[in-house]
């Protein structure tokens, strides 16, 4: 027989509580991403009206530096945070490019 089929009820309850907490945190993350995208759309409209480029390289470098410093303070993997930020950033640029293509 593989593994232990007996699960301690207290341990199982703890795991259930932890999973519920993870689910709640995931919901908060998605809510924050939704809010962020709404702000990105506003910024994209502003850039369109004022004929500004989607990418501000200086700002992007500053964002990376400050967020990676924060990640280090929180003992998060800077490799993971870099990949996450790059993914979010590339999606942001796509949203802004799509806004610029829209006819007035």
Q: Is 102 exposed, middle or buried (0-12, 13-18, 19+ CB in 10 A)?
A: exposed
Q: Helix or strand or coil: residue 98?
A: helix
Residue 1's pLDDT is what?
45
* Joined tokens for residue 102: 């829209």
Residue 50's pLDDT is what?
96
Residue 4's pLDDT is what?
56
68 close to 79: Cβ distance less than 8 angstroms:
no
Q: What is the mean pLDDT of residues 94-101?
A: 95
3 has pLDDT over 60: no
Domains, the chain, ordered by start = 9-101 (1.20.59.10)
Residue 57's pLDDT is what?
96
Summary count for the chain: helices (H), strands (E): 3, 0
Residue 12's pLDDT is what?
85
pLDDT tens profile 12-60: 898 999 999 999 999 999 999 999 999 999 999 999 999 999 999 999 9
pLDDT tens profile 55-69: 999 999 999 999 999
Instruction: Please report where in the chains the tokens 């610029």 appear, as a residue.
Output: 100
């Amino acid at each position: 027989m593989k593994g232990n089929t007996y699960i301690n009820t207290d341990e199982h309850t703890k795991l259930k509580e932890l999973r519920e907490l993870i689910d709640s945190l995931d919901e908060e993350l998605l809510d924050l991403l939704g809010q962020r995208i709404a702000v990105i759309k506003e910024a994209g409209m502003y850039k369109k009206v004022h004929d500004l480029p989607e990418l501000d390289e200086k700002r992007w470098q500053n964002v990376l530096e400050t967020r990676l410093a924060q990640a280090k303070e929180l003992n998060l993997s800077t490799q993971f945070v870099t990949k996450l930020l790059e993914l979010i950033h590339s999606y942001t640029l796509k949203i802004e490019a799509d806004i610029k293509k829209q006819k007035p």
